[in-house]
Homo-oligomer: A and B are copies of this chain.
Amino acid sequence: MNEEFDVQVKQIEELLRHVAFIIKKRGRDILSDFGITNPQFNALLVLDSHPDITMGELCERLYLACSTATDLIDRMEKNGLLERRRDPEDRRVIRLRTMPKAKEVIEQVIQARRRYVKSILTKLDEKDIETLARSLQQLHSLMTEENLPSQ
């Protein structure tokens, strides 16, 4: 019984690692068409859903060292994807906001990713798609629950 569980753990760890690797690789291919990297895209997604976020909050949400995030932000500002603004209430605080170009990039990247997922899902029947969605939803809930203390 316990042994069977260990076999499942081993199998699922390997599958998750491989699937995550392929998703990342696919994502990188799509992003290279837009001249941005994976960490830059993750930053754009965070900035888009949290306008006027501070640098410190961004680092936390991306789980990145602030020196690494600063480099990212520098490159993206130069690229016209975002702007830094001083907080009018406290001029020591820098806030970040996406530029219209970022929305366009995000929209097109997500569309390309959906096309890829669609090309895979069309090979599954309706029941298998529902089961996959449910399993992933369950896994994601448990993973974010697990992650709560650091989010």
Contact A23 B20 (CB under 8 A): yes
Question: How many copies of this chain are found per oligomer?
Answer: 2
Q: Which residues of B contact A114 (CB under 8 A)?
A: 9-10, 13
Expressed in whole angstroms, the Cα–Cα distance for A42 and B24 within the complex equals 12
CB distance from A117 to the nearest CB of B (A): 4
Q: How large is the interface on A (under 10, 10 to 19, 20 to 34, 35 or more residues)?
A: 35 or more
Contact A135 B128 (CB under 8 A): yes
Beta-carbon contacts under 8 Å, A104-143 to B: 110, 113-114, 116-121, 123-124, 128-140, 142-143
Contact B8 A129 (CB under 8 A): yes
Expressed in whole angstroms, the Cα–Cα distance for A113 and B15 within the complex equals 12
- Given the interface pairs A5-B121, A28-B63, the reply to whether A147 lies near B17 with Cβ below 8 Å is no
A34 sits at the interface (CB 8 A): no
Contact B18 A140 (CB under 8 A): yes
Contact B23 A121 (CB under 8 A): no
A33 sits at the interface (CB 8 A): no
A-B contact pairs, 30 of them (CB 8 A): A5-B118, A5-B121, A5-B129, A9-B117, A9-B118, A11-B133, A12-B117, A12-B136, A13-B116, A13-B117, A16-B19, A16-B136, A17-B23, A17-B27, A17-B113, A18-B140, A19-B140, A20-B23, A20-B24, A20-B27, A22-B143, A22-B147, A120-B142, A120-B146, A123-B142, A128-B135, A128-B138, A132-B138, A132-B139, A135-B135
